[in-house]
Structure 1
Amino acid sequence: MTSLKEHGTGNLFVKEMETILDTCKVGLTPVDEVWPNLYIGNVAIAQNRNALQKMGFTHVLNAAHSKQGCIGDQAFYGKDIQYYGIPAEDSLNFDLSVQFRPAADFIHKGLKKKNGKVFVHCIMGISRSSTLVLAYLMLYHHLSLRDAILKVIQSRFIYPNRNFLRQLGDLDNQLKRKRRMCLLL
């Protein structure tokens, strides 16, 4: 697996993605729909079970499940909301890429359910949660990272940290290589 850093394009790539993120014209709100029935939001909404139920959420993905973040569990959300927690750190050292596939699978299964509505959150709903949603759009809807970012920033302010942007860039390259290989077969 070749990373963007190995190609010497890591910082240039990250700057390019940050330039796209900087074009976002919407303000930060507690929760926003970024894809049909897929929402990104903050911990305040996540910890308000009544609000989640009123909004019709069937699945909650917590990208800040840790002592420093938001500790949620299935018991808190009850039988009507499926819960999945990822103890991710919003740091320049954390490898969130190992969670791309499991998180995308959880989101996809939630959206496939009858009346499925998925809420993905971290603390602010800016970096960890948006990274996982971008990975989902890339894995399940075959969007490039650039296109996924452009889609999400139409309705929500996001800003994955530089480390997460590099990891998403690596995923983007892997998926592009895989698509090229499939075309050659």
Structure 2
Amino acid sequence: MPDLATKTITTENVKKEVANNIYFGPIYPNQVIGGLTVPRFRTSINEKSLSRIALASAHKARKPSVILKDFLYLSGAKVGANGDLLAKNKITHIINISPCRNFFESKIPISLLQKYPNWKSPKYLRLYVKDRPEENIEKFFNVSNKFIYDAKRDGGRVLVHCWAGVSRSASLILAYLMNQYGCTYNRALNYVKKKRSIVEPNCGFCLQLSKYELELMRTLGIPIDGISGTKRKYDEVEFVDIINVNVGSVVEEGERNVFDWGTKGIFDPSTYRYNKMRKLI
């Protein structure tokens, strides 16, 4: 006869497992971005119904927020479902971290092709986490950074969208700006808020971004709370946030990237080395 206590514990474990996964659908197929495998995730169980809602309201969508001119855009799902806005802004790459499907991955409606004959189906990176503080969005930073970096290298334009364009998609864009331009989390957040005032990552995502900032700083050898980094090479270090540099400003050495991206195009604190700090003349 089975132990009643064991049976009770097993039942409770099952209930917890069901509760934890009640908002998740099937596991998304494997994706490889520039040699990086996308961490495992499940899609939303409401993907179909929410996709229909986004499509039905897509005509009400306003243009996406321009984070970096002619390159990086931020929005909610309605923009991701609006082919006219995507084509007008010449979007070539989309990071979809919403609970909706990839709207234009397989084909483009004939009506859109007639209006925009040169526009092609965007390249997608599909991700998903619930917009809850306990969710792990940091696990996607490397693959999303790589995806955006590769799009820029190829002369593309990237839209990052979640459901509302407030928390999840904003967090991925903040991680990219911190990584690519050496911004602190607060500086990147203030900059993005100027472009899209409703941006507000949830408290859990804020903590993960702050942790990510520390990882970047330690790799650069910048002292953190009196503890020197392991790779410090300079007596003085000055951050220059290229996204805040005025047009016409001169940048020493002509450097466009803070980090030496090597051949993979992403910054991994355990692998990549610091290239050159820049300062304005």
Q: What range is the shorter-chain TM-score in? A: 0.7 to 0.9
Higher Rg: 2
Q: Give TM-score, length-normalised by structure 1.
A: 0.76
Are the aligned partners of 2:92 and 2:120 in contact in 1 as well (CA < 8 Å)? Answer: no
Determine whether 1:182 maps to 2:231: yes
Q: Structure 1: how far apart are the matches of 2:171 and 2:107? A: 25
- TM-score of the pair, normalised by structure 2: 0.51
Cα distance, 1:182 vs structure 2: 2.6
Instruction: Point out 4+ residue stretches in structure 1 off by more than 4 angstroms.
Output: 76-79
Residue 200 (structure 2) pairs with residue 170 (structure 1): no
Q: CA deviation at 1:30?
A: 5.2
Letter in 2 for 1:72: N
Shift of 1:184: 4.1
Letter in 2 for 1:35: L
Inter-partner Cα distance in structure 2 for 1:159 and 1:30: 19
Query: Which residue is equivalent to 2:67?
Result: 34
Q: Over aligned residue pairs, what C-alpha RMSD do you find?
A: 1.8
Please tell me whether the aligned partners of residues 30 and 42 of structure 1 are also in contact (alpha carbons under 8 angstroms).
Answer: no
Mapping 1:54-93, distance limit 5 Å: 54-64=88-98, 69-72=99-102, 74-76=105-107, 79-93=120-134
How many positions carry a matched residue from both structures? 152
| Contact 2:63 2:85 (8 Å CA) reproduced | no
CA 1:154–1:176 in structure 2 vs 1: closer, same or farther (change >3 Å)? same
Local SS of the residue matching 1:93: coil
Residue deviations 1:71-116 (CA, integer Å, cap 9, x gap): 11621569541111101210121100000110111111112222x1
Work out the CA distance in 2 between the residues paired with 1:52 and 1:61: 13
Match of residue 49, structure 1, among 83, 88, 96: 83
Which protein is richer in helix relative to its size? 1
> Where does residue 171 of structure 2 map in the other structure?
131
Separation in structure 2 between the aligned mates of residue 99 and residue 161 of structure 1, nearest angstrom: 16
CA distance in 2, matches of 1:122, 1:163: 17
| Percent of aligned pairs sharing the same letter | 26
Q: Which has the higher contact order (CA 8 A, sep 6+)?
A: 1
Name the CA distance, whole Å, in 1 between partners of 2:159 and 2:107: 15
| Structure 2, gaps ≥5 residues long | 1-61, 109-118, 222-229, 235-281
The AA in structure 1 aligned to 2:130 is: E
C-alpha distance in 1 between matches for 2:89 and 2:184: 30
The answer for the alignment partner of 1:149 in structure 2 is 189
SS of the residue corresponding to residue 39 of structure 1 reads strand
Give the secondary-structure state (helix, strand or coil) at the position aligned to 2:201. coil
Q: What amino acid maps onto 1:47 in structure 2?
A: A
TM-superposed deviation, 1:49: 2.0
Q: How many Å separate the matches in 2 of 1:149 and 1:86?
A: 22
